Structure 1
């Protein structure tokens, strides 16, 4: 049985911003998807560690600073529970599915280090599946965007409330299933080989993006910020709850 016919474990976070080194998790969701069972989801709301949520981030996921502090639980407890849930899934042999995985997994890694929690990759060695990387590899020259919304439209997947962690986690799994089912050579790859291949594909894709920025007037400065690592950007330094 190919990997996409077995259960997938989706993961998504919504945050205070786009920098994993300094921003914080606001909401998160993990889902067990497929494998002949109904989808099971678990969600969290964090108080963001007391960090204010910018208006731009609120416009994306809907949580204001006040709402997160009222509804959210202490960030350290939330981060610990998310990491435990992912560790349990990986230990059970489930692949982790995350759209733009290097963001979500790096964000979780830095939050773990901030609160003195053993990071996921120091507990287990997950096989990660990133529909963004798969789609770019399988359909490299397709015109149009590659956001989750774009992929849902292309692969005919229903996306609920976009940029809510639960809807995005489910949609990422559904898109991944559609990609593997359409491009059978991906679905037939063993997970260990697929994970290793995505590391190379993600690097090639990032290099291509950096080259595009470098040659595009007005975007040259963005080339330096493109990271090549996948699915986790290594920590440059220790972080603390004061960062």
Structure 2
């Protein structure tokens, strides 16, 4: 298991870091007061990939971690995979990983996918919410990668926290972009080196915690998970109607509002 240490002209270098070897809930227990809200301990998850088609594109890098109440990473696992296909130049321009680098330094895709699935299961089974920005992309792509390699997928991840859905639901009429970079800036969460899986995952977790504080989101996490299903559907319907009005979609087409996985 490897993690990026720094970026040199778009090319990341990698070093081995320790994996967690205990129950993830136990990792944050010493820092947790009684009667916690969900934001006092969150898992974080992000992928960088060969493209944006969740059914056919592949994982290049992945990160799964655990943040305490202060947003400090107390456990972290990062992976570089050889996706088994060429990485398009457009994708390399985003995350900095070339085909040659992934083939020379990446682990086999099946082992990476199995370990990512296992790390996420550990968090979810412990009742720790997993934060993923635009969750349907990451969880759906991971599902199809798992199916491709004969690995039992996570079909109904829960509890999940999606800062994109929460931000749209609680600050619906704010103008401007809703990219992770833009939303992190809005909530004063530092994000340096975007499109690195670890950087993005940790920033998304801290944005989720900032949202919890700003809007007093102390709803029990499984109830909040269920509410996000409805909010995501309504947000997709609203965007569909807008795209139809401006001629970007045919009236019979609808955006998929399934959440947190498609």
- Same structural fold, with TM-score higher than 0.5 when normalized by the shorter chain: yes
Q: Does 1:227 align with 2:262?
A: no
Contact 2:237–2:254 (CA<8 Å) still a contact in 1?
no
2:244 aligns with one of 190, 205, 214: 214
Q: Aligned equivalents of 1:116 and 1:194: distance in 2?
A: 32
1:45 aligns with one of 66, 80, 84: 80
Question: Which consecutive residues of structure 2, in runs of 5 or more, have no partner in the other structure?
Answer: 1-35
Would you tell me which structure has more strand in proportion to its own residues? 2
Q: Who is 2:61 aligned against? A: 27
TM-score, with length taken from structure 2? 0.83
Stretch of structure 1 that moved more, 74-83 or 125-134: 125-134
Contact 2:187–2:210 (CA<8 Å) still a contact in 1?
yes
Q: Who is 1:70 aligned against? A: 104
Would you tell me which structure has more helix in proportion to its own residues? 1
TM-score, with length taken from structure 1? 0.89
Using a 3 Å threshold, how does the CA distance of structure 1 residues 57 and 225 change in structure 2: closer, same or farther?
A: farther
Greater relative contact order, per chain length (Cα 8 Å cut-off, separation 6+):
1
Tell me the number of residue pairs that the alignment of Structure 1 and Structure 2 aligns. Answer: 226
1:226 match: secondary structure: coil
Q: Aligned equivalents of 2:166 and 2:251: distance in 1?
A: 24
Q: Aligned equivalents of 2:71 and 2:184: distance in 1?
A: 21
Using a 3 Å threshold, how does the CA distance of structure 1 residues 36 and 131 change in structure 2: closer, same or farther?
A: closer
- RMSD of aligned C-alpha atoms? 1.6
2:127 match: secondary structure: coil
Question: Which consecutive residues of structure 1, in runs of 5 or more, have no partner in the other structure?
Answer: 234-243
2:256 match: secondary structure: coil
1:121 match: secondary structure: coil
1:55-91 deviation per Cα after TM superposition (whole angstroms, max 9, x unaligned): 1111110011111111111000000000000011111
